[in-house]
Amino acid sequence: MLIGRELLGQIEASILSQSESSRFGLLLVHLRGIRQLTALLGFDAGEALVQATELRLGEVLRPIDQIWRSAPDEFLIVLPQLLSANHGLLAARKVLREFEAPLNVQGRPMMPLLTLALAFSSDSDAASPQHLIRRAMSALERALESNNRLALADDANADLWLQDDLRDALVNNELSIQFQPLVDIRSRRVTSVEALARWRSARHGVIAPSRFIALAEQAGLAPELTRWSVNAILREYAPLRRQMPQLRCAINLSPKVFSQSGIEGQISAALAIWGIPPESLTLEVTETAVMDDPELSSATLRHLRDTGVRVAIDDFGQGYSSFTYLKHFPATELKIDQSFVTPMAGDPRARQLVRSMIGIAHHLDMEAVAEGVEDATTLAYLAEMGCDIAQGYHLGRPMDVPELLQRLRAQE
């Protein structure tokens, strides 16, 4: 493709005019075999096919999409205001589908053979349109070489794709749940389990929850993810609880969702559906999320507590809690972050910090929970310090329900 200077200027202006906040795509449409057609039937026939293609592209795409003829056998299309990468992909697939029927060219039915390449704007493209065009062009080269009808420019926008796949994963139930035991340090019995989400994607492999939960939040999927996870967790927990009525369950709430009004209603409704009493459920919210807006958090925690569920402040020590506020948080548990607990055995300072945090928890009438207990020495220190609950690889990794059942039966 050789874009003339004037045309390049127009395309650049169009790209630069895209507002920073909205995403846009760049679609390259290449017609294969135009040269052969021209050699066979003459220049007019080749040109007529390209023009008929342009007309149909205009019918298929949205009125705001801008189509340029960037070469004798190629179109460059700016797709403004895409809600997600998926919308760009839908547009490309629609083009391919609509061109499966022949075009009428000079009274003859003709099938243009299209190859498409799609690139998405990233933050840096607004400043450098040529970079975006080059990415689309190299994707097109790849598609032509490998005989694919559509190629995507893979680049800094991997997250965008991941977000779309996550959306699909939620719909297709590709996520799963594991449970990690929480052990009462005095009795050494499992009194509760923490539910942890897992995503094994067919395309991307295993993706850590810390990553896909952040992605979900960026993509505005946090409410959907919460709806999915609360139900998926309670569905697995309900039969467990029927066998072991004392066993409690903890669910992590994403910061975005936690501060949303109506969350307590959603939780109560889910508990009612699964026939689970509220006191069997603990909701975990990170210290950082709670401290983001302490006044609002305090009220939200109060609403949640009023429904009867327990509330834990997760990853304590990572954030910057003000003790004034901490005093007013109606939480039932303080979960000491694993970055303090895991090194305890070999680090006197870490031990000192954990000892103070256990003191804070008890002072505020909360249970002290230590996360990240990886060895027996740490557990012994925690017992000596009066910590209430421990969680960590030494006591049990996150596991599926059958394995958990085995573990729980062994302790009966």
- Give the separation between CA 290 and CA 254, rounded to whole angstroms: 11
The site map against ligand C2E for 332-351 (x = CB under 6 A) is ------x---x---------
Strand pairing partners for 281?
Answer: 249
Q: List CB contacts of 322: < 8 A, sequence separation 6 or more.
A: 291, 294
Of 169, 196, 263, 389, the one binding ligand C2E by CB under 6 A = 196
Stretch that binds ligand C2E, among 111-119, 130-138, 157-165, 392-400 (CB under 6 A): 392-400
398 binds ligand C2E (CB under 6 A): yes
Q: How far is the CB of 287 from ligand C2E (least distance, A)?
A: 11
230 binds ligand C2E (CB under 6 A): no
Q: Which is nearer to Mg ion, 165 or 371 (CB)?
A: 371
Q: List CB contacts of 373: < 8 A, sequence separation 6 or more.
A: 341, 342, 379, 382, 390, 391, 392, 393, 394, 395
Please, how many CA atoms are within 13 Å of residue 270, restricted to the half-sphere of its CB?
A: 23
Active site residues: 371
Residue 117 — φ and ψ, nearest 5°? Answer: -135, 140
Q: Give CB contacts under 8 A, 24+ apart, made by 86-90.
A: 86/164, 86/167, 88/25, 88/27, 88/118, 88/120, 89/118, 89/152, 89/164
- Give the separation between CA 121 and CA 132, rounded to whole angstroms: 7
Strands (E), 204-309: 205-207, 248-252, 281-286
Provide the 8-state DSSP code for 399.
B
Strand pairing partners for 312?
Answer: 284, 333
Strands 108-110 and 103-105, bridge-based pairing: antiparallel
Of 209, 278, 330, 386, the one binding ligand C2E by CB under 6 A = 209
Q: Which is nearer to Mg ion, 166 or 251 (CB)?
A: 251
314 binds ligand C2E (CB under 6 A): yes
CA proximity to 296, closest of 323, 260, 332, 271: 260
Residue 374 binding: pick among Mg ion, ligand C2E, none (C-beta 5-8 Å cut-off by kind) = ligand C2E
193 binds ligand C2E (CB under 6 A): no
Q: Which is nearer to ligand C2E, 12 or 374 (CB)?
A: 374
181 binds ligand C2E (CB under 6 A): no
Stretch that binds ligand C2E, among 37-45, 67-75, 241-249, 390-398 (CB under 6 A): 390-398
Kindly identify the residues of this chain, within the stretch 278-297, that bind Mg ion according to CB under 5 A.
284
Stretch that binds ligand C2E, among 56-64, 99-107, 202-210, 300-308 (CB under 6 A): 202-210
Binding region for ligand C2E (CB under 6 A)? 180, 196-197, 208-210, 213, 229, 252-254, 284, 314-315, 338, 342, 371-374, 391-393, 398
Binding region for Mg ion (CB under 5 A)? 252, 284, 314-315, 371
